[in-house]
Amino acid sequence: MTTATINAQAVSRFLRANDLKSVSIALRDEHPADIVGIVGNLPVADIARVLLCLAEDKQATLFGYFDHDLQVDLARALDRRELARIFGRMPHDERADLFTDLDEAQRNVLLPGLAQAERDDLIRLSGWPEGTVGSVMTSDYATLPPHLTTVEAVAHLRLVAPDAETIYHSYVVDEDRRLVGVVSLRDLIVARDDAAVSEVMRRDAPSLRAADKRQKAVELIAKYDLLALPVLDEEGRLAGIVTYDDALDVQKEETDISFVKTSAVAGLGTNMLQASVGLLYRKRVPWLVILVFGNIFSGAGIAYFEDTIAAYVALVFFLPLLVDSGGNAGSQSATLMVRALATGDVRMSDWGRMLGREVLVAGGLGLTMAAAVSVIGVFRGGPEIAMVVALTMVIIVLIGSLIGMSLPFLLNRLKLDPAAASAPLITSLADAIGVVIYFAMATWMLDLTAAGI
């Protein structure tokens, strides 16, 4: 049976009939990632039964493919002995992530099933604060002493390969476990048989500290195109490695968080399918209430210019068009700046340079949009209204873009998340400012026209 013929409904049918053998046969040759797609939305109790139907060597692999929140739920659903068996086969970093979110009773059940060295390693890995490199590193790596010959090094790697997450790069350490170099498996194979590891290793390999922000690992792995990056502790000793797949997971998580924040929604801490109505309400309501009061300024601006609106009713037609244009331009600028700051393409010192460029770009955009809207202005309200609308469009787009570009820099300077410069916040600011600019401009220009100036 293939993924094309086996689906969640078929698995559920087998489970209801207690036909666990059919479940095992149906999923035996499936990749763990495909199995997650098939059973990931079933009830937790059913997923636990499916997990135990598979071969023991595949259970830990599949467990690692599940979403972290689902892993925690499965840990609570599984029998203690079953959980301990799966836990003992998991990669060290995934094991530490799960261990952090288990309650004290579950931890006490799992620890006795590990050797003392593994317990110490687990406690050390799970002790790093969330968001640091240490929280995503693994201790499943291969080390080599510098004096071995390349033949001896390859023989050594054959012995440690089953327990290492990757052997494509090995880390050369001295007697105090201080990193002295990195050597690739390819370099070991193509080098002379009698060459020492110290002769073929790279001494200037990039590394980082366990206390560094985890985003730094993503940046270095992408910059140097690495499969893994060595991590050092406070004393400069090798503490672990961050692999490229862990860096991808970090990048995905950071992107998801930033994306949610740009919509003025706090992090859910779970996926949308599992989030309750109450949780969704609590995460969305704060910013919406704040922005409601922020929009009062727009209403106050309109009320202040009631006489102008009464005298030139045609102005109302263009109000949504103008203020929305300012908000849209600001949201575009903010999105670009948040992304640039997150990836390191732009730094705080670049604000002045980016400000000048944004003035030119926003000015060009405003003039283009003004030319388009002025045609409508002529037909709708006459040349005077068209001139007011066109000039206001240029100013509003310029100001909205500068607000959108500058807010991420300001929040970054205040040590806040630039992603909080969300589209709703920028839109509310642009709306309030746009209303005032539009009607102030209209009052001034149309009064001059009426006076014959």
Q: pLDDT tens digits for 316-371? A: 888 888 888 888 888 888 888 877 877 777 888 888 888 888 999 999 999 999 99
Q: pLDDT tens digits for 172-196? A: 999 999 999 999 999 999 999 999 9
**pLDDT at position 64:** 86
Residue 239 reports pLDDT greater than 50: yes
Tell me which residue has tokens 């005032």. 436
- pLDDT bin (cut points 50, 70, 90) of residue 262 is low
User: What CATH code would you report for 8-127?
Assistant: 1.25.60.10
**So what CATH class is 295-450?**
mainly alpha
Domain(s) labelled CATH 1.25.60.10 in the chain stretch across: 8-127
d(CA 239, CA 137): 8
Domain(s) labelled CATH 1.10.357.20 in the chain stretch across: 295-450
Q: pLDDT tens digits for 69-88? A: 888 888 888 888 888 888 88
Q: pLDDT tens digits for 15-30? A: 889 888 888 888 888 8
Tell me which residue has tokens 């090798």. 238
Superfamily, domain 141-254: CBS-domain (3.10.580.10)
**pLDDT at position 144:** 94
Residue type, 45: A
Domain(s) labelled CATH 3.10.580.10 in the chain stretch across: 141-254
Among 33-37, 110-114, 416-420, which stretch is predicted with the lowest mean pLDDT? Answer: 416-420
Tell me which residue has tokens 């499943």. 140
**pLDDT at position 2:** 43
What are the DSSP calls for 120-174, one per residue?
HHHHHHHTSPTTBGGGT-BS-EEEE-TTSBHHHHHHHHHHHGGG-SEEEEEEEE-
d(CA 264, CA 285): 9
d(CA 421, CA 408): 6
Q: Is 375 exposed, middle or buried (0-12, 13-18, 19+ CB in 10 A)?
A: exposed
Which residue intervals of 204-350 are DSSP H helices? 214-224, 244-261, 277-294, 296-304, 306-311, 315-343
In what side-by-side order are the strands of the sheet with 208-209?
A: 208-209, 228-232, 238-243
d(CA 114, CA 79): 17
Q: Is 21 exposed, middle or buried (0-12, 13-18, 19+ CB in 10 A)?
A: exposed
> Dihedrals φ, ψ of 142, to 5°?
-105, 135
**Average pLDDT of 31-60?**
88
Q: What is the pTM of this model?
A: 0.61
Q: pLDDT tens digits for 423-440? A: 677 777 888 888 888 888
Q: Is 18 exposed, middle or buried (0-12, 13-18, 19+ CB in 10 A)?
A: exposed
